[in-house]
């Protein structure tokens, strides 16, 4: 069985086709999925998904790409993370690719999320794009290693992966690892310890080969696992077992 550790089932492309999406998950042995929150306005829908399906979980957080939405305080995030189906804080982090200029607000928001995670003792889901140095620095300054979590949709170097692992974080690979030119991501997937690896779709984005360019969905996480098995020269079953075990251990759910 496979677990999609990061998807956005509340986004319209997916939310309007849930029956088909669940059927495809079942056909591909994708048993569980974590629905990741990107802003407080839409969080109730994410939470409802997790509370009305026993194989879905939720997180709470505000994505660094959203500048003009409700700014969360650590206390507010802790409160929203109280329900047991809310298993993580995020996604949070830094994105210097999508937005430019003075991004101090992103760094401050990221700090609030790390503080919240420590207060409620739930792991972090971290998004980082063209901002690895600042991301690792703030993780260290705020003591993110106390709760750990996952560096999601990983696209950074092996050194960045190793530094995150030293801070008690796992590394999650998306469909990007199946892209022909993703040499560095493939190297990371081949090299880091198997017990630090998670798999995800980040659907509706980033569909893996052979669905590249189409709307992604949790069932496609199987193709991410297949690529990792190929890269590491191990069986698909071994990748499935390890990544599923890693997911349940990290998010403390059964």
- Give the interface with Zn ion as residue ranges (CB under 5 A): 127, 202
Q: Of 5 and 246, which has the nearer Cβ to Zn ion?
A: 5
Rank residues 100 and 233 by Cβ distance to Zn ion and give the closer one.
100
Buried/exposed code over 225-245 (b: 16+ C-beta within 10 A; e: otherwise): bbbbbebbeeeeeebbebbbe
Q: Which pairs count as long-range contacts for 243-246, CB under 8 Å and 24+ apart, including other chains?
A: 243/2, 243/3, 243/5, 243/197, 243/198, 243/199, 244/1, 244/2, 244/3, 244/31, 246/170, 246/195, 246/196, 246/197, 246/198
Closer CB to Zn ion, 65 or 145, in the complex: 65
Minimum gap (Å) between residue 96 Cβ and Zn ion: 13
Q: Minimum distance between the CB of residue 138 and Zn ion, rounded to whole angstroms?
A: 16
**Residue 92 exposure: Cα atoms within 13 Å on the Cβ side:** 34
How far apart (Å, rounded) are the C-alpha atoms in residues 85 and 87?
6
Min CB(218)–Zn ion separation in Å: 13
> 95, 67 in Cβ contact below 8 A?
no
- We find the least distance from the C-beta atom of residue 217 to Zn ion, in angstroms, to be 14
Q: Which two tokens stand for residue 75?
A: 């206390």
Least separation in angstroms between CB 127 and Zn ion: 3
Q: Which is nearer to Zn ion, 4 or 202 (CB)?
A: 202
Phi and psi at residue 253, to the nearest 5°: -125, 155
Closer Cβ to Zn ion, 10 or 202, answer by number = 202
Q: Which is nearer to Zn ion, 40 or 230 (CB)?
A: 40
Shortest Cβ contact with Zn ion: which residue? 127
Evaluate whether 10 touches 254 at the Cβ level (below 8 Å): no
Q: How far is the CB of 36 from Zn ion (least distance, A)?
A: 5
């Amino acid at each position: 069985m496979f677990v999609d550790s990061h998807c956005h089932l509340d986004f319209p492309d997916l939310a309007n086709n849930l029956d088909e999406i669940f059927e495809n998950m079942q056909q591909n042995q994708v048993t569980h999925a974590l629905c990741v929150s990107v802003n407080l306005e839409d969080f109730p829908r994410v939470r409802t998904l997790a509370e009305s399906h026993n194989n879905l979980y939720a997180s709470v957080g505000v994505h660094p790409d959203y500048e003009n939405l409700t700014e969360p305080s650590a206390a507010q995030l802790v409160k929203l993370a109280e329900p047991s189906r809310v298993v993580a804080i995020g996604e949070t982090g830094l994105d210097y690719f999508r937005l430019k200029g003075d991004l101090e607000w992103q760094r401050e928001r990221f700090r609030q999320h790390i503080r919240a995670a420590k207060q409620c003792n739930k792991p972090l889901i971290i998004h980082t794009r063209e901002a690895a140095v600042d991301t690792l620095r703030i993780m260290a300054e705020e003591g993110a290693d106390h709760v750990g979590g996952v560096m999601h949709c990983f696209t950074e170097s092996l050194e960045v992966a190793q530094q995150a692992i030293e801070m008690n974080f796992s590394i999650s690979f998306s469909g990007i690892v199946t892209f022909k030119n993703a040499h560095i991501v493939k190297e990371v997937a081949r090299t880091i310890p198997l017990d630090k690896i998670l798999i995800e779709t980040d659907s509706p984005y980033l569909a893996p080969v052979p669905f590249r360019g189409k709307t992604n969905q949790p069932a496609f996480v199987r193709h991410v696992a297949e690529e990792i098995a190929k890269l590491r020269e191990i069986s698909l079953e071994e990748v499935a077992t390890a990544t599923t075990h890693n997911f349940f251990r990290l998010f403390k759910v059964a």
